Amino acid sequence: MAVFYNQAILSYNNTVTSSNIVSGEIIEVISASKTAVPGEYRANDVVTYIISITNSGTTDVNNLTITDNLGEYTFETLTLVPLTYVEDSVRYFSDGVLQAAPAVTAGAPLVISGINVPADGNATVIYQAAVNQYAPLATGSEIVNEAVVSGTGVSDVTVTETITAANDAFLTISKSLFPDSVAENGQLTYTFVIQNYGNTEAGTADNVAVTDTFNPILNPISVEFDNIIKTISDDYTYDSTTGEFATVPGRITVPAATYTQDPDTGAWAINPGVSVLTVTGTVQ
């Protein structure tokens, strides 16, 4: 809604007088909202955006355009775009009915055109964007995404949605064996490398645990975590008859990742936190 004011001037015989001031309002027939699902993101996530457009007028509004900046922000002298449109992801509904795909220009900004909104009706445009290397990931980071709905004869409508970097641990594990050939009654070492790509430490409260069943069975075994010798029962359990091994939940912790932004390109690099578990034993 926009308020306007108006006043008239009357002049006669070198005399000027003013009228009273009148006011009115222009009711905007097009309104819009924008929602992101999910509201948090991690590296390489895909975010779904939903733009809902409502027409409160008595006539159809046709050929609207949505222009989305894909989270564009300034870093030093660079303009960075942390989201990448997912090709062919646009879905367009009019009063809940799926329509033919609108025209899409996928660059930054993302432009979606040819949106029609029926009188006293609505249109919904859904599309996806992938989190790319320009998205900040540290605790407290966010992507502020703005879109403008525009068209002939209607006022521009700006909608903004903010998503925040997830504050949690994000772990991966890899396993290696040394040596890969061993004689009977020889010794094997399994090495488990646990990496944390999240911005929060995986601490004792996260109850991280590693389980495995060794085949061939190893007996006896020795266990180290980050070069510190661990003890059975307190730190891990092991059944020498079945080969079932498990660390006690909460005995493994993994530091948070750190993130560095290239001063020349603005791209973020992830330096994962790393912890290493090793199990060495004699083949039975």
Q: Where does 118-231 show beta strands of DSSP type E?
A: 121-131, 142-151, 154-165, 171-178, 187-196, 211-213, 218-225, 228-230
| Both tokens assigned to 115 | 């949106």
- Within this chain, do residues 160 and 38 fall inside the same structural domain, yes or no? yes
CA gap 99, 93 in Å, rounded: 5
Taking CA atoms, 44 is separated from 22, 131, 274, in Å, by 55, 5, 20
Give 270: exposed, middle or buried? Use CB within 10 Å, 0-12, 13-18, 19+: middle
| 61-98 pLDDT tens trace | 999 999 999 999 999 999 999 999 999 999 999 999 99
Q: How many residues does the chain have?
A: 284
Within a domain: 5 = no
Task: Answer with the one of 127, 149, 165 that is the final residue of a domain.
Answer: 165
| 268-282 pLDDT tens trace | 999 999 999 999 999
Within a domain: 15 = no
| 122-147 pLDDT tens trace | 999 999 999 999 999 999 999 999 99
Query: 41 is in which domain, residue-wise?
Result: 30-165
Per-residue pLDDT, 1: 54
pLDDT band at 3; cut points 50, 70, 90: confident
Instruction: Give the chain's mean pLDDT.
Output: 96
Within a domain: 23 = no
pLDDT band at 2; cut points 50, 70, 90: low
- Within this chain, do residues 184 and 217 fall inside the same structural domain, yes or no? yes
Q: Name the percent of the chain lying above pLDDT 70.
A: 98
Within a domain: 187 = yes
CA gap 41, 164 in Å, rounded: 6
- Within this chain, do residues 137 and 177 fall inside the same structural domain, yes or no? no
Task: Answer with the one of 165, 188, 214 that is the final residue of a domain.
Answer: 165
- Within this chain, do residues 152 and 64 fall inside the same structural domain, yes or no? yes
Strand partners, 105: 111
Q: How many domains does the chain have?
A: 2
* pTM to 2 decimal places: 0.84
Within a domain: 114 = yes
Residue 145: CATH number of its domain: 2.60.40.740
